[in-house]
Amino acid sequence: MIAKNSLNNQLPNEIKSTFKELNMLKHLRIAGITKSFGFSCAYIFQLIFCMIFENKNWFRMLESKKATDIPAK
């Protein structure tokens, strides 16, 4: 899953290259998705995207040991 170290280097290499090629984070900005405080939109999007492929859901992540590393609300 996404570690707490560098927020920009958290995706697996295959997904990272796809995000870069498709300019996914640029499209988030163009769509008007911005943050008001807390974690960046890119971080949240990458977290949810990775959870899909790891077959996990938000509720289970909050109950796990990594609950301190992810946003609760």
The reported pLDDT for the residue numbered 10 is 57
- How do residues 6-64 score in pLDDT, each as one tens digit? 444 556 777 778 888 888 888 988 998 887 887 888 888 888 888 887 777 877 777 77
Q: pTM score, two decimals? A: 0.62
Is residue 73 within 8 A of residue 39, CB to CB? The reply is: no
CA–CA dist 31, 25 (Å, integer): 10
Helix (H/G/I), strand (E/B), else coil: 18: helix
